[in-house]
Amino acid sequence: MLVPNRLKSLYEGPMPPMGLTDYESLSKFLNAGAQRCKTSGRNFDLFLDWVIHALLASLTSDSAARIFLPKTKTAPFVLDDLIPLSGISPVGKKRIQLSETHLIAPVWNNTDLGLALEAFYDSGFEDVKIEQRFGGAYIEELRLAIIDSPSDVDIPNVLRVWNRGSLQLDTYTLKALEPVLRTNGDAWYLQEGESERAEPVREPRMAALYNCGLRRYCGK
């Protein structure tokens, strides 16, 4: 837990981390943009595309930079802590090109990453078609791949930086998720038959990204 003066210094630093993203503040920006577009006749998708890009860039950069944080102060990454998909059936499985994908796969082990970099160098920067199965999810409309197999993240991370490689992941679409998963920024609500189950939002950026995606690609 950050002590108050540390949190204050983060907010007042030259580059406040987007991990401090406030869902309500982001929503105010989008709602104001929607009103402006309604008045002017401009396409609101422009606002949504900008926010989606900013959120994806922030999440993926934090994922790669996870290795720079002390492991004693962080916890292993779990997909459902980011977005609760484990209880929702995927629409299929897809081979994705890492060069065309936003990748969230938090790096955990310094030694494994170093070995992956060395192996990639020794291979002559080979373009690898990875056959092993990965835990995680691919959200098609966002071109977002999330890997939550801690021991498997190093090679995809290395390949992604050099625009190489492909792998297979369970695939989800926002259109299929929309009827069974929603969020208000504070909680995720999963439809289970006639009832809903609530889970806390642990990463506001992901909740914002999900809702922006629904508005952009599902007209919500």
Contact 76, 150 (CB under 8 A): yes
Q: According to the model, what pLDDT value does residue 9 have?
A: 67
Amino acid identity of residue 73, one-letter, is K
DSSP state of 189: E
Given pLDDT bands bounded at 50, 70 and 90, which one contains residue 149? confident
**What is the domain partition of the chain in residue ranges?**
73-217
Residue with the larger pLDDT of the pair 63 and 175: 175
What pLDDT does 17 receive? 64
Of 93, 91, 78, 89, nearest in space to 191 by CA: 89
Pairwise CA distance, residues 210 & 172, whole Å = 12
Locate 3 and state its tokens: 């002590």
Instruction: Name the average pLDDT for the chain.
Output: 90
40/75: higher pLDDT: 40
The confidence score (pLDDT) of residue 4 equals 53
Q: Which pLDDT does position 15 carry in this prediction?
A: 62
Higher pLDDT, 74 or 217: 217
pLDDT tier at 163, thresholds 50, 70, 90: very high
CA 111 to chain centre: 24
Decide if 63 contacts 76 (C-beta within 8 A).
no
Per residue in 137-148, pLDDT (tens digit) is 999 999 999 998
| 119 pLDDT more than 60 | yes
**Which pLDDT value is given to residue 1?**
47
Question: At 25, phi and psi to the nearest 5?
Answer: -65, -40
> What percent of the chain shows pLDDT beyond 70?
91
Q: Report the SS3 class of residue 32.
A: helix
- For residue 108, pLDDT over 60 is answered with yes
Pairing type for strands 187-192 and 181-183 reads antiparallel
Count of other CB atoms within 10 angstroms of residue 59: 22
- Among the residue ranges 87-91, 109-113, 205-209, 214-218, the one predicted with the least confidence is 109-113
pLDDT tens digits, one per residue of 58-99? 999 988 888 888 877 788 889 999 999 999 999 999 999 999
Residue 16's pLDDT band, with cuts at 50, 70 and 90, is low
Residues pairing with 145 in the sheet: 103, 138
The predicted structure's pLDDT at residue 72: 79
Output b/e per residue, 92-124; b: 16+ Cβ within 10 A: eebebebeebbbbbbbbeeebbeebeeebeeee
Tokens of 186: 């504070």
Measured CA to CA, the distance from residue 200 to residue 178 in angstroms comes to 18
Identity of residue 26: L
Please give the Cα distance from 217 to 70 (Å, whole number). Answer: 38
